[in-house]
Chains A and B, each alone.
Chain A
Amino acid sequence: MPKDHGIGASVKRREDIRFLTGQGRYTADIDLHKQTYAYFARSEMAHAKINKIDTKAAAAMPGVIAIMTGEDFVGMGGNPAGWYIPSRDGAAMKEPKRPVLAHGKVRHVGDAYAIVVAETLEQAKDAAAAIEVDFTELPAIVNMAEAVANSANRVHDEIDNNVCFDWGWIEDNRAAVDAAFAKAPHVTTLELVNNRLVPNAMEPRASIGDYDAGTGDYKLYTTSQNPHLTRLLISAFVMGIPENKLTVIAPDVGGGFGSKIYHYGEEAAVLAASKAIRRPVKWVAERSESFLTDAHGRDHVTRIQLALEKDGTFLALRTETMANVGAYLSNFSTATPTFLHGTLMAGPYKTPLVYVNVKAVFTNTAPVDAYRGAGRPEATYSIERIVDLAADELGIDKVEIRRKNLLTPDMFPYTSPVGLVYDVGNYQATLDKLIELGDLAGFEKRAAASKAKGKLRGLGLSTWIEACGIAPSHLVGQLGARVGLYDAATVRVNATGTISVMTGAHSHGQGHETVFAQIVAERLGIAESAVEIVHGDTSKIPFGMGSYGSRSLAVAGSAMVNAVDKIIAKGKKIAAHMLEAAEGDIEFADGKFSVAGTDKAKTFGEVAFSAYVPHNYPLETLEPGLDETSFYDPANFTYPAGAYACEVEVDPATGHVEIASFTCADDFGNVMNPMIVAGQVHGGVGQGIGQAMLENTTYDANGQLLSASYMDYAMPRAEDVPFYTVDHSCNTPCTHNPLGVKGCGEAGAIGSPPAVVNAVVDALQRGGYKHVTHIDMPVSPSRVWSAING
């Protein structure tokens, strides 16, 4: 009988009941007394000088209460980049100010230059249309290579070649890597594009600013993955509101995928507008605004080279990448292509020498930042594509080339040539599991069946690792992070024995309310229904760095477990007093404090009650109450790993690709709720299939977004994905956190894109189209057909 509750049980998601019955409470569902409506006037040009913005006529329109433009925010700070990345020659990172509203210039289509506040949304829209702007259009800078080459065209006037930084990792290893290439028996070279993605959270961004003139307190309701970080950025950098005067509430949030990690100008604008008019100001993005202004993902252009022995042994790897950061630096935009990408370029392999060069480039496009996987999908895609290409060039089987180069279990802890220390793993085990589950031995038979239908079948593999559980503060501090990346939890035992857990993690679809309750309940031996998980409100939670980077369980979960341990420790003291025994003799198990070797015991509820009604209590030595907080800073990243196999059927006449099967063997360490983990993998792989086959964010030469709606931006649908086979039985528990967990939220999106593309290229190779060695994502029907016929 599998467990039906507690750690390891597939407990159904308690939050889904409210989501599925329409009772979730999202920012857009909140309406405040005397609320007003904001609409942002946004640039239709990608790049223009603002000569004049005349709001007089607009301000006189019916219902208009206030209009603010970039001028009104010049006294405020900019929205900063969270990581400082110096160039390899030591030059400082270029950090142009990112104002609340555009000032001087507009730099991408959708760049907001005014906020209009009115009694109704329609009135605000009408007035926005009546704002008279005098802009001088400037040439749009869209293509990265041209941006770098043409110093006359500048996104920011003070940055002459549009380069934010030119980063080398690890610069000291460069010469050794180049030397290894110079004498290598075989070098494989590949140029590839990691396509730009629009995050497409189901819930568009929304914010309500609510200033209380009586107390001077500000409240911000907003769609955020990390309300404390938003508060910190608004307080310390942008608006200077003291943190004790600002509450940030992120209620139910309908997906983020990274795009809601960041602080956006709209949040500051509604707060400032609310103060100016002394009424709440509400803004809800339309889907078109999401397309134009949510921080996009990925967008790398990479040249990668792998040096090998003729037998397939990897000798060295080097890459040159241009990473698009868009028009402004979003909060994690400098970390994503560097420390979340370059440090992963050894992958799960023994490659002794690795060098990574990344140039971050400004363009007149929406800011680009972390998106599900953040840097690790870029690394994994580059590595796994070139491994396949090298295998083809050398005539080596795709499983064998991987097995030959994978790290072996005896090599852990392993210090990679790009600076990470992998604590534990067993990559052969997941590969073996994959071979078995995916019935790789039966592939030829399936290929023959496909052929009989006129289809080409292909098999694509991906063996990947990632670094998550972000992150050890001392390490990221050395690497340029401007924040710590610990997390915090308060476990509050109420007088009647029920529990409120205040966690710094933020759930926006992941299922924290269920899983965290499973863990606390099991540890305390009480019913899950007695545990409430509270998140998303800076006035209730001690502190937190939010949810992204597959960190919630590994970091915030560890804080929660440590706080529970403190509760148990204090409970033992109380129980010792109640039971007239020595503290050292008290044992805690199954919700009971008992005296070792006797049948004397007090239940958890009795001890909790005593803590709040301390009639018989050691008041001289112990404070009443049962409420503990813990801050947890991880000792290392965690390193989930896995092996994926994708099988496709290609219709050579149309280029249509169907995914026939997708198999995942993952190592996430200990698994708290297998059903939720499987769901995370399904979602992640679905997103990876979307990137690999469908999603294509395209700007034209004028900086207009061509794929600006679902008419042209292809999202994966149920019919595009197969029934997945997922397994997470090959566990090597994390060695440095109390639950032994690694994180599973991004894995699917990290490991899957190369498996899909490898499978398509494999199908064409087997079909006799030997000239097709690579197809850039998305491998759409027209691209596949063009590759075949090219």
Chain B
Amino acid sequence: MYDFEFVKPSTIAEATKALAGDGAQALSGGQTLLPTMKQRLAAPGTLVSLNGIAEMKGVCKGDGGLHIGAATPHAVVAKEAAAHYPALAALANGIGDPAVRNRGTLGGSVANNDPAACYPSAVLASGATVVTNKRKIAADDYFQGMFTTALEEGEFITEIAFPIPQKAAYVKFNQPASRFALTGVFVAKYADGVRVAVTGASNDGVFRWKEAEAALSKDFSAAALSGLTVDSSDFIHDLHGTPAYRGNLVKVLTARAVAAA
């Protein structure tokens, strides 16, 4: 790890100022950032910890549905979202191990947009709103390919608002080594239709499986999916699975998510 400066602001305004500086980078749970720094693959000049900002923490119901502060650790989401949005709480409870869940945060995960991360699928399937220190971004506009988002220089996530669905479930198939999602599917049924978001499968990161959404919006049952095909031509090919295998998982897991919702 290279040397760096460390600051810990206590308000969003202070953090905005700190992150405007040259070479400044946000630090939340550090579960992704610190290992990269230890390997000398990242060398921020200043780490701006977002963990001391009270207004960025916690879970509460509001106009936009369930509002979760970006600096809220997965373990807290698992506990506090359970009564309001059980599928989201269950997703949080399935991330990593207790140490990761107690440090890693919603904001860090969604900002990082790892193609195998769990949260992005919930954000996209819920049609959530990503709130930053500068603006509000609709989930459909936020995710822009693996490790790529709509966030600009100096911009950071402060909160995410999740509309609460009538029914939802997340089914994750573990990658055997990392236990991230080899493929994961989040299905959410709203009054105006069903949204299906897939993580872990595509070279483009999280995406919506629109054919399934259309079919499920008409008939919310696993059987409704039987005739559909998944275009796996741009899916990930790695040690753990071929595109065809991931394509199969998308179908199987979507059906299981519908059954579980």
Contact = CB atoms under 8 A, between A and B. Distances in A.
A122 B43 CA distance: 14
Given A781-B173, A782-B242, 19 more contacts: A122-B1, A288-B39, A653-B248, A653-B252, A654-B173, A654-B248, A654-B252, A694-B177, A707-B239, A710-B178, A711-B177, A711-B178, A712-B238, A712-B240, A714-B176, A714-B177, A715-B177, A780-B240, A781-B245
B241 A782 contact: yes
Contacts of B198: none
A730 B39 CA distance: 51
17 contacts: A122-B1, A122-B2, A125-B40, A654-B248, A693-B176, A696-B239, A707-B177, A707-B239, A711-B178, A712-B177, A712-B238, A712-B240, A713-B177, A714-B177, A781-B173, A781-B182, A785-B245
Contacts of B176: 693-694, 714, 780-781
A786 interface: yes
Interface string B1-19: 1100000000000000000
Interface string A704-736: 001100111111000000000000000000000
**Which of A696, A711, A715 has the most C-beta atoms of chain B within 10 angstroms of its own C-beta?**
A711
A781 B109 CA distance: 26
Q: Which 10 A/B pairs are nearest by Cβ-Cβ distance?
A: A714-B177, A714-B176, A782-B241, A782-B245, A711-B178, A653-B252, A712-B177, A694-B176, A713-B177, A712-B239
Contacts of A789: 248
Interface string B163-196: 0000000000100111000100000000000000
A686 B162 CA distance: 42
DSSP majority for the A interface?
loop
Given A125-B40, A654-B173, A714-B177, A706 B252 contact: no
A655 B253 CA distance: 13
B254 to A, nearest CB: 12
Contacts of B248: 653-654, 785, 789
B249 interface: yes
A712 B242 contact: no
Interface in A650-696: 653-656, 693-694, 696
Interface residues of A, number: 25
Contact of A786 (B39, B177, B238, B242): B242
A698 interface: yes
Q: Classify chain B's interface size.
A: 10 to 19
Contact of A712 (B2, B40, B173, B178): B178
A781 B174 CA distance: 10
A785 B40 CA distance: 38
A707 B239 CA distance: 8
Nearest to B255: A653
A780 B1 CA distance: 35
Contacts of A715: 177
A693 B240 CA distance: 12
Contacts of B177: 694, 707, 710-715
B175 to A, nearest CB: 8
Interface string A458-481: 000000000000000000000000
Interface in A85-113: none
B242 A654 contact: no
Nearest to A696: B239
Interface string B134-178: 000000000000000000000000000000000000000100111
Contacts of A710: 177-178
B240 to A, nearest CB: 6
Nearest to A698: B239
Contacts of A782: 240-242, 245
Nearest to A653: B252
A752 to B, nearest CB: 18
Contacts of B1: 122
B86 to A, nearest CB: 22
A524 to B, nearest CB: 47
A538 to B, nearest CB: 35
A122 B1 CA distance: 8
B40 A706 contact: no
Nearest to A712: B177
Contacts of A125: 40
A712 B180 CA distance: 11
Given A654-B252, A696-B239, A786 B178 contact: no
Nearest to A693: B176
Interface string B211-247: 0000000000000000000000000001111100100
A696 B239 CA distance: 9
Contacts of B239: 696, 698, 706-707, 712
A786 B245 contact: yes
Interface in A737-790: 780-782, 785-786, 789
**Which of B2, B182, B241 has the most C-beta atoms of chain A within 10 angstroms of its own C-beta?**
B241
Nearest to B253: A654
A141 B40 CA distance: 29
Contacts of B40: 125
B226 to A, nearest CB: 13
B252 to A, nearest CB: 5
A515 B2 CA distance: 46
Contacts of A655: 245
Interface in B2-42: 2, 39-40
Nearest to B256: A653
A713 B245 CA distance: 19
A488 to B, nearest CB: 42
Contacts of A786: 242, 245
Nearest to B178: A711
Nearest to A125: B40
B160 to A, nearest CB: 26
**Which of A654, A710, A711, A782 has the most C-beta atoms of chain B within 10 angstroms of its own C-beta?**
A782
A707 B175 CA distance: 13
A525 B178 CA distance: 52
Contacts of A653: 248, 252
B225 to A, nearest CB: 13
A185 B249 CA distance: 44
B82 to A, nearest CB: 22
Contacts of B173: 654, 656, 781
Contacts of B252: 653-654
Contacts of A694: 176-177
B174 to A, nearest CB: 9
Nearest to B39: A288
